[in-house]
Amino acid sequence: MRRRAERAARMLALLLAATGCLVVTIAASQAAEPGASQLPVFEDVGAWRDLFRRPKVSEPVADADQEARVRLGRHLFFERLLSGSGRMACSTCHDPARFFQDDRPRAVGVFYRSLARRTPPLFDLAEVRPLMRDGRAASLEEQVLMPVLDPDEMGQTAEGLLEKLGRVAFYRRTFAETFPAEGLSLPAIARALAAYVATLESPPTAFDRWVEGEEDALEARERRGLAIFLGKGGCIACHVGRRLTDDRFHDIGLPTSDLGRGRFDPDRASRFAFRTPSLRWVARRPPYMHDGSLGSLRAVVDHYDRGGIDRPSRSPSVRPLGLTEQEKGDLIAFLETLSRPPPETRVSALASDRHR
């Protein structure tokens, strides 16, 4: 369902770009004093909002078995016995207080081994396929044991893991109750961890309010930034949907020796290509990119403005933009609306609030 809705959003974005039938015009955007006359005028604003709307999905039926798996998965997520050193849990890198990331440019694994890439956030992943920055995991269940068994990441072995957990009465009992067929086993550990990770959701933002129809959820400057995101900046070509990602792989021209998707896919466009990341809460989650090489949103916007390295794999949607200083500032102001809670919740909004 959600996939279909995202495809529809992408089609709409392409259609809009191709026909130019919906235009975002900015009246007198260069004027010194921001005022009502400079507000971008979104023609047919509903269609633009649809590009970011949460796809309609049927609510999962509350299921006691699934809840038990989630509870067990949560225990395992914070469990240091999952690492070879006994000192590292999933939460060491995916810190719940930091949107399930850490603040290191690249992750540091067991015994202080440096990993090649930055820890990504773990929210809104329930339906994302494939996972990992290069797409090498087909599903959450396939992904969650990868860090455990990777010698540089958590450095545990299958035998070590089962033996250490098997010594704990709580795990022996809970696995037997929760997974009567498998008991304490690798597939059961994977199912529990995946069930927990699938429940993690990013909190609502001020921008969600705009999407829901509250025009004043964004200030003038932020609306100008949104117009650049949709128009001159071309960001919408890849950052679309409620999570502001198409979940596809693109080379955006960063200087890197990491082939990304290109390690698995011979297609020319896959070289140096990484999965488009979610932009939810992005201003709170520096540094940016697969290698944490850009320290601030300003650095990110400067990168897109320059267009990155011109090479055969670079996406045709990434090219020098010629943004003015004011446009860069407005674009950053818009990205910040994706990164702050909505203003005090109105009673009318509560009725339609789907978040817990």
Q: Say if CB 123 and CB 278 are below 8 A apart.
A: yes
Tracing tokens 């896959």 back to the chain, one arrives at 270
Number of CB atoms found within 10 A of residue 59's CB: 6
AA letter at 266? P
How far apart (Å, rounded) are the C-alpha atoms in residues 251 and 253? 6
Closest approach, Cβ 175 to ligand HEC, in A, equals 16
Angle at 205 between CA 199 and CA 207, to 5 degrees: 130
What pairing do the DSSP bridges indicate for beta strands 249-250 and 24-26? unpaired
Query: Considering beta carbons, is residue 155 or 349 the nearer one to ligand HEC?
Result: 155
Closest approach, Cβ 254 to ligand HEC, in A, equals 5
# of chain residues touching ligand HEC (CB under 6 A) = 52
Closest approach, Cβ 210 to ligand HEC, in A, equals 17
250 binds ligand HEC (CB under 6 A): yes
Closest approach, Cβ 245 to ligand HEC, in A, equals 8
Q: Say if CB 194 and CB 272 are below 8 A apart.
A: no
Interactions with ligand HEC, residue window 196-215 (CB under 6 A): 197
26 binds ligand HEC (CB under 6 A): no
SS (H, E, C) 261-324: HHHCCCCHHHCCEEECCCCCCHHHCCCECCCCCECCHHHHHHHHHHCCCCCCCECCCCCCCCCC
Q: Name the segment binding ligand HEC (CB under 6 A); options: 16-24, 37-45, 236-244, 339-347.
A: 236-244
Number of CB atoms found within 10 A of residue 341's CB: 13
239 binds ligand HEC (CB under 6 A): yes
188 binds ligand HEC (CB under 6 A): no
Q: Find the binder of ligand HEC among 51, 70, 122, 230 (CB under 6 A).
A: 122
Tracing tokens 């067990």 back to the chain, one arrives at 72
105 binds ligand HEC (CB under 6 A): no
Interactions with ligand HEC, residue window 279-338 (CB under 6 A): 279, 282, 285, 288-290, 300-301, 304, 315, 317-318, 331
Tracing tokens 């068994």 back to the chain, one arrives at 149
How far apart (Å, rounded) are the C-alpha atoms in residues 342 and 218? 10
Asked, as a colleague might, if the bond just before 120 is cis with ω within 30 of 0, I would say: no
Closest approach, Cβ 27 to ligand HEC, in A, equals 22
Q: Find the binder of ligand HEC among 99, 123, 274, 281 (CB under 6 A).
A: 274
143 binds ligand HEC (CB under 6 A): yes
DSSP state, residue 84: T
88 binds ligand HEC (CB under 6 A): yes
Closest approach, Cβ 348 to ligand HEC, in A, equals 31
Angle at 20 between CA 313 and CA 38, to 5 degrees: 105
Q: Name the segment binding ligand HEC (CB under 6 A); options: 41-49, 51-59, 249-257, 336-344.
A: 249-257
Q: Find the binder of ligand HEC among 74, 133, 191, 209 (CB under 6 A).
A: 133
Closest approach, Cβ 195 to ligand HEC, in A, equals 11
DSSP track, 141-209: HHHTHHHHH-TTTT---HHHHHHHHHT-HHHHHHHHHH-TTT-SSHHHHHHHHHHHHHT--PPP-HHHH
Q: Angle, nearest 10°, between helix axes 186-198 and 64-77?
A: 100
Q: Find the binder of ligand HEC among 10, 69, 74, 94 (CB under 6 A).
A: 94
Closest approach, Cβ 234 to ligand HEC, in A, equals 5
Q: Find the binder of ligand HEC among 22, 45, 115, 259 (CB under 6 A).
A: 115
Please report, as ranges, the residues that interact with ligand HEC according to CB under 6 A. Answer: 82, 88, 90, 92-94, 107, 109, 115, 117, 119-120, 122, 125, 131-134, 140, 143-144, 147-148, 153-154, 193, 197, 233-235, 237-239, 250, 252, 254, 274, 276-277, 279, 282, 285, 288-290, 300-301, 304, 315, 317-318, 331
